[in-house]
Amino acid sequence: MQSADMAQTSPKESSVTSAAATAAAAASAKPKILEKKKALPQKQISYPFWFGGTASSLAACVTHPLDLVKVRLQLRSGDAPRNMSGTFIHIVRKQGPLGLYNGLTASLLRQMTYSTVRFGVYEDLKSRFTHEGTVKPSLPLLIGLSTFSGFLGGISGNAADVTNVRMQQDTALPAARRRHYKHGLDGMFRMLREEGPRSWFRGVWPNSTRAALMNASQLASYDSFKAWLMTYTPLGDTTTTHFASSLLAGFVATTICSPVDVIKSRVMSAHDEQGILHLLRTIYAKEGAAWMFKGWVPAFLRLGPQTICTFLFLEAHRKAYRQFKGIES
């Protein structure tokens, strides 16, 4: 009897034991699977070199009126409006809404040279210093890489930048001093023909210094803010993260670059050449230390949206590229 009972109950007991063993095995295997996933190196994605240039060009189309107002305020003279809203109204009254886009062709030409180089070189160098799945570049290294790439970008885009500043300021000048450039390329070649090759490198040192500071404060801070938000918040690699990171990067970049930006605009718009030290003495004597942050508000209102738009467009480029190539994020 006892053996018969054991024979009758053994299938149940064996099935329970088997289920328990399976559950225990699954529970013990789960952490191992997770560990393996964590240990798997992430593949470094190499994006096209020109993504930064096209993203910046799209952003320039959105923010060009703000850039125009910033330059006008930095170079204002006489009875020109002293604030951002007054400058906007003044431009629209004198030239109509299209007046807010004076110099757009030069601005696009600048982005396709300056921004293509600064983004392309930075991303290439960053990928060389990133060991897949193990080591990410430190903040000091990111600052160094972005400073170098920004300096190269400033040199490559200087001629277009000079043209951009001149076209933005042209209609605010007396009729006798206007240059009447038709578009960005016309301005560059007229400068070469009328003023010689040196005109393409006018203000190249303050411009390249500003570009280096801009890149270091914008790209390195964006990558750092983005990594921090993805690590310490549940946001993940989302549009919200990109927006917040680019907004903070725009604030940092505006503050750091403001003094050099003012000097760059004044050197490039001048009709006669003068040394930077002489220019600094003149500005300080007339305006005091406040000159360093002249036009900061319109600069931030322009650079903040410009930074946000640039990185949102850039991340959209990357997402579309991954989808097209069938690469998982």
pLDDT in tens, 64-106: 888 888 778 777 766 778 788 888 898 899 889 888 888 888 8
What is the predicted pLDDT for the residue at 135?
A: 58
Angstrom CA distances, 166 to 6, 173, 196, 271, stand at 99, 10, 16, 10
Tally of domains within the chain:
1
- pTM of structure: 0.71
For residues 194 and 191, what is the distance between their CA atoms, to the nearest angstrom?
5
What is the predicted pLDDT for the residue at 84?
A: 81
Q: What is the CA radius of gyration of the chain?
A: 28
Q: Say if 301 falls within a structural domain.
A: yes
Q: Say if 122 falls within a structural domain.
A: yes
Q: Say if 17 falls within a structural domain.
A: no
Q: Say if 196 falls within a structural domain.
A: yes
Could you please report the per-residue DSSP string of 217-270?
IIIIHHHHHHHHHHHHSTT-SSHHHHHHHHHHHHHHHHHHHHHHHHHHHHHHH-
Domain that holds residue 97: 45-325
Q: Which of 66, 57, 29 is nearest to 299 (CA)?
A: 66
Q: Which residues pair with 135 in a beta bridge?
A: 131
What is the predicted pLDDT for the residue at 274?
A: 63
Q: Say if 4 falls within a structural domain.
A: no
pLDDT in tens, 261-317: 777 777 766 666 666 777 777 777 777 776 777 777 777 887 888 899 999 999 999
Q: What is the CATH number of the domain that holds 309?
A: 1.50.40.10
Q: Say if 31 falls within a structural domain.
A: no
Q: Say if 13 falls within a structural domain.
A: no
